[in-house]
Chains A and B, each alone.
Chain A
């Protein structure tokens, strides 16, 4: 089954606006991590939220987790052009023998100056 599906697939906003990306998954998880990837570059870790946590903040980032709905959201407030990137959620599923991450397809965010 698919694990970690983000929506929307693409999002275009004006600088200064907030951006919200959602992630759904199918199996029970230990934790969920959000990553950012600039075009053709590496994966930059943003936030890890554990299954017993509901919300975490880091600077302009806010992540929520609803395990009953098997979903998470990433909110970027006061977006900047430099936030333009693809954003991925990745889950560490219960039962994944070596805690490997399962990634979604990502949301491509464009922030227009």
Chain B
């Protein structure tokens, strides 16, 4: 099965610090998504990205968040000034085409202290 990879697997940061979470999507996939899962809660959509721009974002995805595809392979999620409530597991996902299976990466567990 195709594989999405994410780095780092775990990150601990101080409140107010910037973090960058990285994803390497499956090659040839053009749609990219970030989701997050706060411990014990359901997975929530953050943002979708297609053709080098944001397609849609949720209300969670405020001005502190940004995404980019800096080099045509990596897909990054940046949180500029982390808050305690940003502590969660962050997942990257890509389908081969819209409305197909979304393949999820293993996630980055972010802990904000």
Contact = CB atoms under 8 A, between A and B. Distances in A.
Interface residues of A, number: 25
Nearest to A96: B56
Given A31-B99, A42-B106, A45-B103, A105 B31 contact: no
A98 B100 CA distance: 12
Given A97-B56, A99-B31, A99-B98, A42 B44 contact: no
A105 B41 contact: yes
B22 to A, nearest CB: 15
Residues of A contacting B: mostly = strand
A58 to B, nearest CB: 12
Interface in B1-22: 1
A69 interface: no
B48 A100 contact: yes
Nearest to A6: B42
13 contacts: A31-B99, A35-B104, A41-B106, A42-B107, A43-B43, A43-B91, A48-B101, A88-B43, A90-B43, A97-B56, A98-B31, A98-B55, A102-B45
